[in-house]
Amino acid sequence: MKKLLALMAVVVIAATVFVAGCQKKEEAPAPAPAVDNAAPADNAAPADNAAPADNAAPADNAAPADNAAK
Quote the distance between the C-alpha of residue 37 and its chain's center. Answer: 5
- As a whole number of angstroms, the distance between CA 43 and CA 58 comes to 35
Report field, pTM of the whole predicted structure over 0.85: no
- The domains of the chain are located at 1-27
Q: What is the pLDDT of residues 15-68, one digit of tens each?
A: 999 988 877 665 566 676 666 556 666 656 666 656 666 656 666 656 666 666
Q: What is the pLDDT of residues 31-46, one digit of tens each?
A: 766 665 566 666 566 6
The pLDDT of residue 20 is 83
- As a whole number of angstroms, the distance between CA 26 and CA 19 comes to 11
